[in-house]
Structure 1
């Protein structure tokens, strides 16, 4: 069996790092031309991230097994294997919901999050370039702080990151600040206050190098954003800061990994549903709590 995952060039590095994926398929290539797996036409397509144009194209290509959900109207005329699945009202994690699409294969097991963590392997990584490897301090616990999310999550205030940096003992921790080149200006107020205590890599790396850097570090702190999930999949201490609001709460989007940990208020709340720029519940998470948790791990290089 040959397994391919369709994505965009931006996600290619993540897909190619997975041990169990054989082929990366560019979404635009799929929509415009014939694609193959191990020299053969695809035999099955699972609509994990439903898109009407992909569903239509899969039918045009006459892919024998086209698996979608009953809740997407465009799957009814384009898919020939439909799974009854409602994401909005489900208590399950996004990854658990995606695995429900395996039912047409006779796989009906309800996977737990620890089971999914065991099935994750991002070990096919490029070597971290020497000039980036030289930034890392081998004698310290290397923790990445990734404050921004490109507007995709409720973000922890930069002042909280400033406080966390000042709380962490730099004799034990190497604190690394990461972000995209587009986030560099937004991170500057943080860097202005703690620049001498951190290693700033914001805007310096592409995604392949950043994944390899995460693999060389020990932990990462972020809101619900891509690097947090990458760190969890790499079995690092992925510390996620979340709001208690459905459907963006940890129950649906927490990082999955042996050493993943979420920080979230124990309550149900929807006060900031219409205000994505400020979430009181997220801001109520204390930097001291994260500092105490990391120190309680007791995992420091000798």
Structure 2
């Protein structure tokens, strides 16, 4: 039986990149059901990604206390909204239970979890097999609403908003650092929050040195916990460490002002792709965190993987063999220079 949804909840309560890769669902749903209400349930720290999106009618924040999900409080707030359909993009037992107890009639989710009995509209795909991109796995969930959208980098829109107030703050910050409005600068984000196997910091140092030798200004971004890592990349007056200094809204604004972003597999690389920026990403040859599944979803990307032979690699094996150290950052540098020259019309 085909669902005719009127009040849809999209649940994505994990990290920055995961939320970004779920944003296209809102527009696609609206294209098929223009009168439907679309609401996102997210964690507080990712709220900036879904605010002021023209295809998202409301944003609900997951109720937590000391990082513990409050089941009764979340059930109460969802019941008040009278959703008829929930798409649980990121399933956990607690989230699935909350959606079930909220009395939502149609509950779309994975059919391969022990708690999948809490869903009554199931999609049977093992994401760990990484046969397609994470965004395309997200799109597969829409099949339960009668929507068959195969994706493609030229066939989805992220509709990520740049907060005007945050943009003004970032422009003021750039001006105070001597960056004029038309000046090119590069963002390097060396951390990943443990979501993947990272390029060694020594390789980032090597790359930043080459860029600044070319008189390219480099902004270093990261969380408060990544200040120390970023400090290692402050080589001269052309490197600026903003780790821990920006809110998510301000990070989005900074990326919107940049020309390109260099990063491991982490949230900011997906923000950059969503904003149409060139992205340069470092990925291990590990299936579950490969570029095939987690790469930036754009044609404007450069992907670098270990240059050693590696079959059925695991995170542990990749770390033990120091596979990421085999990536040649001179090649990365040359690609960046080509992009910058093309952007400059040279």
1:288 paired residue among 325, 330, 334:
330
Q: Relative to 1, partners in 2 of residues 1:81 and 1:272: Cα closer, same or farther, differing over 3 Å?
A: closer
Once residues 284 and 327 of structure 2 are traced to their aligned partners in structure 1, the CA distance between those partners, rounded to angstroms, is 9
SS in 2 for 1:154: coil
**Pair 1:177-2:249 in alignment:** no
Residue in 2 that maps onto 1:245: 286
The alignment status of 1:110 with 2:150, answered yes or no, reads yes
1:261 aligns with 2:302: yes
Post-superposition offset of 1:139? 4.2
- For the residue of structure 1 that corresponds to 2:59, the secondary structure is strand
CA contact (8 A) 2:273 2:279 kept: yes
Say whether 1:96 aligns with 2:128: no
SS in structure 1 of the partner of residue 49 of structure 2:
helix
State the aligned residue count.
296
Question: What TM-score, normalized by structure 1, do the two folds share?
Answer: 0.88
More moved, 135-144 vs 66-75: 135-144
SS at match of 2:227: helix
- Does residue 1:52 correspond to 2:93, yes or no? yes
Cα distance in 2 for partners of 1:45, 1:55 equals 10
Unaligned runs of 5+ in 2: 1-35, 65-69
Q: Secondary structure at the match of 1:4?
A: strand
Question: What residue is the counterpart of 1:14 in the other structure?
Answer: 49
Contact 2:205–2:232 (8 Å) recurs in 1 = no
| Structure-2 change in CA distance of 1:211 and 1:15 (3 Å) | same
User: What's the counterpart of residue 149 of structure 1?
Assistant: 192
Q: CA RMSD in A?
A: 2.5
Task: Pick closer, same or farther for the CA change 1:74–1:18 going to 2, 3 Å.
Answer: same
Other structure's SS at 2:236 match: helix
Give 1:256 deviation, angstroms. Answer: 1.0
